[in-house]
Amino acid sequence: MYAIVDIETTGGKFNEEGITEIAIYKFDGHEVVDQFISLVNPEREIQPFVVNLTGINSKMLTHAPKFYEVAKRIIEITEDCILVAHNAQFDYRILGTEFRRLGYDYKRKTLCTVELSKDLIPDQASYSLGKLVRSLGIPVTDRHRASGDALATVKLFKLLLAKDTSKTIIQKSIKLGAKNKLDSKFLNILDGLPSITGVYYIHNAEGDIIYIGKSNNIKKRLNQHFTATNSKSKKIQKLVSAVTYEATGSELVALLKESEEIKRNKPLFNKALRRSKFTHALYSFIDENKYINLKIDVADGRKKNITTFANIQSGKSFIMNAVEEFNLCQKLSGIYKTKTSCFSYDVKNCEGACIQKEAPELYNKRVNALIEKNSCNNKNMVIIDRGREVDERSAVLIENGVFKGLGFVNLNYQINNIDVLESIITPMENNRDAQHIIKNYIRKNKRLKIINFD
């Protein structure tokens, strides 16, 4: 659990500042579950430049509560939380100073979004909160007011969590937080899990990830892990101490994140999934008569394929449907071996490419339509799918046929501005598995929204 904080102060000498406004959003890693926002009477003068910056003046604070009147609420809402702030050292110092004046030793673990941003979003022109969120297309209102800045930090932190593919933030949080003892046989864990699409992470008592999975119903899938009797499930049940998850909304995003993060984190019980998830692929070649031929063959990473398949049966089913949809020749598609005409020509369903009766230009036009529909090669596009919330969309970026990464957007501006989109997305490896996942998902989801760009 996180307490995302922003504080406005009077300014002045070091450790003599007073709080004029405080905002705290209690954030469970997915949504805000509690909040506290209040002006505070600092009982001292506010520096003129601070008044100009924040718009908060002494008159506004005359009837505001003094710090000792809000101290209990601050302790309660940040209890068992990691304090998160943009430049956390400042906010934590100010809170510590105010509590020391009351004779209370206020201690919390902290995370700084400036440091996290420098690590996870490198090469930004500025890491000040206002300039950083603007460059990422994150909307911010009431800049230099505690509530507006804290809410912008919530959105930034949510983006940083998504970009943290090594799950360093989550693992550190589990280590810092209280250990979850499972005396009640997993019921506590299951109670805190949602029935949504996403990726889940099973941790041991040290916070290390021992298993990563994806599901369209995380709670149901974890229940299966905890009740299964096979050897691997029993080992997981013995070691599990906590489960975290990341909502994705989109099954495509969940598949890509699962694949990437298994390779990156190498969990103890994901050994089988570290291997490639496909065995066969569709290839094309031009024969001596200038016709484009298609062939389902064993996947070969050295050759450029059109699309890939989990097994030979899936490939055969695809090519059979493609022959019918695009009116292709059975012989030139590799499903009818003959030295003469194919069966479809004999029953008047083939235009005769198998015996050079149809011109190569006409036939190849239909084959190219099939290739264009099912290949990402050399394409620049964004695949738009469901987001984690109603007003959000997921975006998978492909540049020149290369998978660049994925992210979440709320605004059309973020999708259509390629520079902003590249800042928002979590960069990911363009490996064979990722290409297979994307091609397979596009093939199976006919109504998927795809935006092509130059």
Query: What are the pLDDT digits (tens) for 213-261?
Result: 999 999 999 988 988 888 888 899 989 989 999 999 999 999 999 999 9
Residues 132 and 232 in one domain: no
Is the CB of residue 381 less than 8 Å from the CB of residue 401? no
| Confidence grade of residue 274 (pLDDT, cut at 50, 70, 90) | low
126: CATH: 3.30.420.10
Among candidate residues 145, 163, 181, the one where a domain is terminated: 163
Q: Provide the pLDDT for residue 181.
A: 42
Residues 97 and 148 in one domain: yes
| Confidence grade of residue 420 (pLDDT, cut at 50, 70, 90) | confident
Range name among 23-37, 111-125, 265-279, 437-451 with the lowest pLDDT average:
265-279
| Confidence grade of residue 76 (pLDDT, cut at 50, 70, 90) | very high
Our count of domains for the chain comes to: 4
Provide the residue range defining the domain that includes 227.
171-274
User: In this model, does residue 162 exceed pLDDT 90?
Assistant: no
- Encode burial over 156-179: b for 16+ CB neighbours within 10 A, e otherwise: bbbbbbbbbbebebbbebbeeeee
Q: Provide the pLDDT for residue 156.
A: 93
Q: Which residue has the higher pLDDT, 188 or 314?
A: 314
Residues 124 and 14 in one domain: yes
Residues 79 and 224 in one domain: no
Residues 149 and 9 in one domain: yes
Mean pLDDT of the chain: 88
User: In this model, does residue 172 exceed pLDDT 80?
Assistant: no
Among candidate residues 333, 353, 374, the one where a domain is terminated: 374
Among candidate residues 341, 374, 407, the one where a domain is terminated: 374
CA atoms in the 13 A half-sphere facing the CB of 178? 7
User: In this model, does residue 182 exceed pLDDT 50?
Assistant: no
Q: Which residue has the higher pLDDT, 130 or 175?
A: 130
- Report how far residue 391's alpha carbon sits from residue 393's, in angstroms, rounded to the nearest whole number: 7
Residues 159 and 231 in one domain: no
End-to-end CA distance of the chain: give it in Å, rounded.
42
| Confidence grade of residue 6 (pLDDT, cut at 50, 70, 90) | very high
Please, which residues have CB within 8 angstroms of residue 100's CB and are 6 or more apart in sequence? 106
| Confidence grade of residue 347 (pLDDT, cut at 50, 70, 90) | confident
Q: Provide the pLDDT for residue 179.
A: 41
Mean pLDDT for the stretch of residues 138-157: 88
- Report how far residue 371's alpha carbon sits from residue 366's, in angstroms, rounded to the nearest whole number: 9
Q: What angle do CA 412, 26, 115 make, to 5 degrees?
A: 70
Residues 194 and 313 in one domain: no
pLDDT, tens digit, 9 for 90 and up, residues 362-381: 999 999 999 988 888 778 99
Residues 192 and 266 in one domain: yes
- pTM of the predicted model as reported, rounded to 2 decimal places: 0.68
Token couple for 51: 């008044």
- Please name every residue paired with 249 in a beta bridge, in sequence order, or none if there are none: none
Range name among 122-131, 166-175, 439-448 with the lowest pLDDT average:
166-175
- Report how far residue 436's alpha carbon sits from residue 446's, in angstroms, rounded to the nearest whole number: 16
Q: Provide the pLDDT for residue 303.
A: 86
Residues 87 and 146 in one domain: yes
Token couple for 309: 């398949």
Is the CB of residue 45 less than 8 Å from the CB of residue 59? no
Residues 54 and 159 in one domain: yes
Q: Provide the pLDDT for residue 276.
A: 59
User: In this model, does residue 289 exceed pLDDT 90?
Assistant: yes
